[in-house]
Structure 1
Amino acid sequence: MTITLEKARELLAKAVETQGKGFVYNPSKTGLCYYQPLSVERALSPEDPRVKTGCLVGTALKIHGRMDLLDFLGSVTSMHREDKGQGGDLMDEEAADYFQMAQTHQDGGSTWGKALEAAEELAESLIKARSVEGGEAR
């Protein structure tokens, strides 16, 4: 089932609930985000939050049941493009943009709550643009 913007919003909200809005996945603002938890050997330290959980988008994909994608190395935009190039239908463009917004904020050291807020602002803009394109703007 293709992840639409609406489904992405649901999945990301559930992913945030797993660790809480105040959780910071990348406090050092360095290194990569990983879709699944890091082993202690690969982490900066045993206290590295990336040992506790995968990144926000990885957690959302796991909730969606897409465990096959958790080893992917690259941005969610790259994941989307690669999947689409192979004829897949993992997510639509809006969902990819939404997840990318959250991933960018998370990787910059934001809390998961702030990353969700940024993605939600984008979602509202995308929905508004849809309305204007469809002649539904008021």
Structure 2
Amino acid sequence: QSVVAIGSPFGLAETMTAGIVSATSRTITAPNQFSITGAIQTDAAINHGNSGGPLIDAATNTVIGINDQIESDTNDNAGVGFAVPIDSAKSVAQTLIAGGTVRHAYLGIRIADVSAGARVTQVVAGSPAAKAGLKVGDVI
């Protein structure tokens, strides 16, 4: 699926980059350790300043996601960008417009799949998981 990402990377207004949807249903973790499930992965160049811009299906000119973050060891585009699916964004927007609040569960851990369940690979200090006594290496 061909896509375009629009944003203002590095302050360069109205920039458009092209790529494909590399994967769907990814779980991404923000720098504050908040996880987003169902993310769209793309190789369209997404850099600082693209966040909040649309990810558009090039064939239908339909917004399919909101550009969110990149995965990179250097903080530069490495061809691995993520967008929040538009249906998720619409649901949150409708709730907020109606005067509601959006709450998300947060444990404060990172995990890896293992045959017995999920192995805890990181516990954020002060998080609910830390307060409950979860430790790196625990299998849940």
**TM-score past 0.5 threshold:** no
> Normalised by the size of structure 2, how large is the TM-score?
0.26
> Normalised by the size of structure 1, how large is the TM-score?
0.27
In our comparison, the structure showing a higher alpha carbon Rg is: 2
- Higher-helix-fraction structure: 1
- Higher-strand-fraction structure: 2
